[in-house]
Amino acid sequence: MATRFWLVHLACVALLIILPFGSFRPISEEIVDDSNASSAEINAAAPPVLQPRGRKPEALAQISSEQFKLAADYLIEFGYLPDENFTDYLVPDMPFIPEDQLPEEFISGLEWFQRQNGLTVTGRVDDETSDAMKLPRCGKHEQRMSYNVGAKWKKVSLTYKIINTTALLPDKLVREELIKALKVWENVSPLKFVEVGINQTADIDMFFVSGQHNDGERNAFDGPGRVLGHAFMPPFSKTKKDLDGDLHLDNDEKWSINEKKGVNLLQAAAHELGHSLGLDHSTISEALMAPTYKGYKPLFQLHQDDIEAIQALYGKPSTKTDASSSSASSGGASKAVTPSVTSNSKVTEDKKDPKKQTIVNLCSEEPIDTFVSTMDGSIYLFKGEYFWDLSHGKLPMSPKKKYPQLISAKWKELPSSIDAAVRMQNPTAKQDGKIFFFKGDRYWKYDNDKIEPGYPKLIKEGFPGIPNSVDAAFTQPAIIAKGNKVIREERIFFIKGKKFFLYDPVAGNSSSPQMLQDDWFGVKLPITAALSLKNEMYLIGKKKFQKILLLTYSQNRVYGNIHQAKNLDQLIVCDTTK
């Protein structure tokens, strides 16, 4: 007898393992030798078979039914699965479920959780993922809160009031910690916080509450452990609603000050205030705005990612306040540094054509044209008539020595100012590893740097339904299970203006265009380039970039959740030479 439970779903869909789109899910290439992960996406000499999210071929391809249910319940509770409709799913009354039979949206939601928490994206309920799900965390519901990502206060002087305090600690000490939490953000931005009387209207109300507390049944607190608190984003419209900006902390938690036991009030309150100011969760696990609470930090400081996120909304401090007092600790992200080798910003000397000895800046006013990765693990950036080879062990990627170089030096037949480029990533297909460049109404097909006969060709002939002069393109690679079973075919996304097109290289057709801002929550326009890097996908604008957290398929449509925009120098080491 099978047991039943509710699993969130975007639309009324039967088991996705039966439907055509049920085999779709975001995937990545496996790095078999972790020691070489910084220099190659795939070992070109012996390309591994793509396994679901880095699974090694000898791994057991199954999950316990209990693990599946626990993980699904967690993903539902915190909004990593779509929640417009509910679909009744059967959980077989057996100890294990084959992983290639899991519902597609469960895999997508699991990958979102892993990306959001800075974990290795495997699409599996592995030990690292299970441990992360056990940590206390913010109660922010990812789906519902994503609708307001990008909201910010239209002023820098904000009022607040402390409605009550917790009985576990002296009232004076609680108030001091909450004020310190405000100072955490005030020290690195132009924001100023002014307390008002209990009977006055404030921008930010701070409460300690238990259980259900008049902000919706799904926001009810759960007692000690797990959910520590939540906060509401700033008003998205000109009119403030009652809950906009408010901060709620679970009164049943064992709050503490300056000690390891319990939950540190300063850290938890500062995190929730980040949401009150408009910040989404960070994908960097060491950041304050990461979703989970990892324990008391005696030398608590903001991570550089937190600082850059708040300054992206409100700017830098208006006074000469030393922002370094809240900067990242030694474990934080490093700032982009100008490479010491000046050739990173200059074209390699070309004795035959001295005119090519020009200064080229990666992050200048002219946007990046495109990126492309190759089977040998290289990642190239294209801009105008030049390209850069990027090191990509960790972000930000930096240009290698002796770059940029002329595109014509490596791809002789290509024009300058490429519109877009993709590399095919399906080891069961003949096209695997082939690179396609697009410009205007034509496209070029290469095997690494060797053009294939008969190219260029017209886009309308090789990619029917895709418009000319696209702005960007990226692939969501195929995922292949043991025995070369195709779990999901490869798909290519083309972006032009405010729309995107989904192309199926197996069927040779494209979907009707969808509006980016209607179906991809949080996306910022315009998009000038895109990048598929290992198990991550990025959208790049002129000065910002965004990580794609989720792509999920329903009724021939694609829905996405896109992370908050970050400065481009967090993705690429920008040239700062004058």
Among 483, 479, 459, which Cα is nearest to 535's? 479
Torsion over CA: 12, 15, 20, 24 (sign): positive
* Catalytic hit among 41, 104, 272, 490: 272
φ, ψ of residue 66 to 5 degrees: the values are -70, -40
For residue 201, CA distances in Å to 93, 161, 191, 194, 361 come to 55, 8, 18, 12, 49
Task: Match 């959208």 to its residue by tokens.
Answer: 539
What's the CA gap between 200 and 541, in Å, rounded? 42
Tell me the C-alpha distance between 98 and 201, whole Å.
55
DSSP β-ladder status, 62-64 and 96-98:
antiparallel
Q: Is 413 a catalytic residue?
A: no
pLDDT in tens, the chain (578 residues): 333 333 333 333 333 333 333 322 222 223 333 333 333 333 333 333 323 333 333 444 688 888 888 998 899 889 887 654 344 445 667 788 877 777 777 888 898 899 889 898 888 888 999 999 999 999 988 876 555 566 899 999 999 999 999 999 999 999 999 999 999 999 999 999 999 999 999 999 999 999 988 787 778 888 898 999 999 999 877 777 788 999 999 999 999 999 999 999 999 999 999 999 999 999 899 999 999 999 999 999 999 999 999 998 999 998 654 444 443 333 333 333 333 333 344 444 444 443 343 446 777 788 999 999 888 888 999 999 999 999 877 788 989 988 999 999 999 999 999 999 999 877 777 888 899 999 999 999 999 899 999 999 999 999 999 999 999 999 887 666 556 666 667 789 999 999 999 999 888 899 999 999 999 988 999 999 999 876 789 999 998 999 998 888 877 788 888 988 888 988 998 764 43
pTM over 0.85: no
35 CB-side CA count, 13 A: 0
If we measure between CA atoms, which residue out of 458, 280, 444, 436 comes closest to residue 373? 436
